[in-house]
Structure 1
Amino acid sequence: MADLNYEGALETARQSEPIATNPGFKALAIAVDVSDRNSVDEMVDSAVKNFPRIDYLVNSAGIGVQKHLPIEDADLTEMDRFWQVNVLGTFNCIQAVTKVMKQQSVKKICSRSREREVGRGVILNLGSCNSYIATPNIVQYTTSKHAVIGLTKNAGMHLKTITISILRRLIKRIALENAAYGIRVNAICPGWVDTPMVDAAIAGNPNLPKMMKTVIPMSRIAQPDEIADVVMFMTCPRSSYVTGVGWLVDGGTTLQLPTY
């Protein structure tokens, strides 16, 4: 468990231990700033030293919008902050873990009556339904989440080639290049989830709860365990033939809206 908030990571690690079913389960808490490549490298080094391999990486670090403003009033400093955390932070983790996974042996499992290969590892990025739609007054968040889908689909491109026009392709490219090594790369794209980040967004926009009920066909936001269930599926052998996709988990929010 790695987080900028070390105490939060430590508490999550503690809570995971009583519910673990594997007798050899071990939870490690690590402090990390995903926007700092040295910090990311230290996180990966700690994982490698404490565990025999890295089977999956879930890139869930991210920040949300505190102030909803029209594009002409958007703060460039905040725009850069979103880029550093949501985009480059995701890229830093993908790059560091890919190096480790490529050196690992291909994992095999027993499936019904035969043994089958499930690859060297899985990388799962947390996008958003805003990876596919445009929402007014949150240009910094929407741009960064579109980029996460791009990172999921592309890999191996030089950073100088990364522009808005190709960010959507980046994750596909990462998945494409890593597929030959048995490394799957996908994204899940939730809508609103009952988390502190959404609480902060509501504090900045009191009209948000009413708007949520209007645009979500299921008339409610997701619970964290509903997203965790999809994370579990996308990182386990049951999805071993899935790579390069972004899975919308949004209660039907994007059904009524044009996606890009």
Structure 2
Amino acid sequence: MDITGNAVVFGGGGGIGRSTALLFSQSGASAVVIADLNLEAAESAAAEAKRVATNPNCRVEALRVDVAVQDSVDSVFQHVTTSIGRIDYCINCAGFPVKTARPTADADVDEFFRVQDINLRGTFFVVRAACAIMRSQKLIPNLAAFPERGSTRGAIVTLGSVLSFGASPYLVQYTTSKHAVLGLTKTAALDHVKDGIRVNCVCSTWVDTNMTKQVCEDVPGLEAILVPSVPMGRIAKAEEIADAIVFLSSPRASFVTGCPFIIDGGTSLSSNR
């Protein structure tokens, strides 16, 4: 997919983020920086990314980050720009699982704002910093052989959800955060399209990750309805979401910005979910 530049993956220690970091490495990236709250998980992912790298000079690093803290996010970007230089692809996969499923009137206030801290504030801090850095970078062709496809200073991908469009009972904290992430993505895309920066949002349904398993343990009865709610008869694999993320980051998506890229096995096609 013509991946030749440097990638930074927030939340890259596990799940979708880990699969994304590995795919960047497998696709020929020059550098992959994996940032996660769990440094041990980030280091494990970095070791695997180094093993599967197809670019023999690929540089892989692991860093600790708390995306809910602006200084923590900014320190990652400062390290990357100082140590590696240009940032071509920035991905935010950091997220916070739902612990309780209740009607809005009974929603846990602390959990509501904790979810916003990670899913929304964290995405804002990452996107804001990435845009600020990328707009000062050199403008380069998307594809040198096809100058008519324009130029780029970088690409950013956020993680939304099918709940960025609709709603689900008892998940006000999660639904609110993902509506906001999509709005943030669209606005950043408009604000920086003239800077040569593309910003897109991958909107998936349930994915087979440890986070999903934890949510199923925390929310009674959820697991029993997940697969039946998907027309394809299964939930997504993390690698399938990573495929879309890397595509949207690549010059193959040179005319795509502000896009909510839905990956849900047909779930959103029916109103009877």
TM-score norm. by structure 1 comes to 0.88
Matched, 1:226 2:259: no
The alpha carbon displacement at 1:30 in A equals 0.8
The alpha carbon displacement at 1:209 in A equals 2.5
In the superposition, relative to structure 1, how do residues 258 and 105 fare at CA in structure 2: closer, same or farther (>3 Å)? farther
Return the letter of the residue paired with 2:174.
Y
Aligned with 2:243: secondary structure? Answer: helix
Alpha carbons 1:106, 1:117 under 8 Å: kept: no
Equivalent residue number for residue 71 of structure 1: 104
Matched, 1:128 2:142: no
The alpha carbon displacement at 1:144 in A equals 0.4
Q: Quick one: distance in 1 between partners of 2:143 and 2:113?
A: 47
Q: Quick one: distance in 2 between partners of 1:82 and 1:137?
A: 14
Q: Quick one: distance in 1 between partners of 2:167 and 2:130?
A: 31
Q: Quick one: distance in 1 between partners of 2:41 and 2:217?
A: 22
Matched, 1:42 2:75: yes
Alpha carbons 1:33, 1:39 under 8 Å: kept: yes
2:45 to 12, 15, 26: 12
Aligned with 1:30: secondary structure? Answer: strand
Counterparts of 1:238-257 in structure 2 under 5 Å?
238-257=252-271
Alpha carbons 2:182, 2:201 under 8 Å: kept: yes
The alpha carbon displacement at 1:9 in A equals 0.8
Report Cα offsets for 1:121-166 as digits up to 9, x if no partner.
0110001111112001111001001110010011xxxxxxxxxxxx
Equivalent residue number for residue 134 of structure 2: 101
2:177 to 144, 158, 165: 144
More deviation, 13-22/102-111: 102-111
Equivalent residue number for residue 87 of structure 1: 120
Equivalent residue number for residue 212 of structure 1: 226
In the superposition, relative to structure 1, how do residues 115 and 180 fare at CA in structure 2: closer, same or farther (>3 Å)? closer
Report Cα offsets for 1:12-44 as digits up to 9, x if no partner.
111101111112201111101111111011010
Return the letter of the residue paired with 1:241.
F
Equivalent residue number for residue 184 of structure 1: 198
Q: Quick one: distance in 2 between partners of 1:98 and 1:199?
A: 33
Q: Quick one: distance in 2 between partners of 1:43 and 1:82?
A: 22
In the superposition, relative to structure 1, how do residues 108 and 11 fare at CA in structure 2: closer, same or farther (>3 Å)? same
Q: Quick one: distance in 2 between partners of 1:204 and 1:99?
A: 38
More deviation, 227-236/104-113: 104-113
* Consecutive unaligned residues in structure 2, runs of 5 or more: 1-33
Alpha carbons 1:101, 1:120 under 8 Å: kept: yes
Aligned with 2:61: secondary structure? Answer: coil
The alpha carbon displacement at 1:115 in A equals 7.7
Q: Quick one: distance in 2 between partners of 1:195 and 1:227?
A: 11
In the superposition, relative to structure 1, how do residues 35 and 114 fare at CA in structure 2: closer, same or farther (>3 Å)? closer
* Consecutive unaligned residues in structure 1, runs of 5 or more: 155-173
Aligned with 1:69: secondary structure? Answer: coil
The alpha carbon displacement at 1:112 in A equals 4.6
Moved over 3 A (4+): 109-118
Aligned length: 240
Matched, 1:28 2:61: yes
Q: Quick one: distance in 2 between partners of 1:189 and 1:95?
A: 20
TM-score norm. by structure 2 comes to 0.84
Aligned with 2:201: secondary structure? Answer: strand
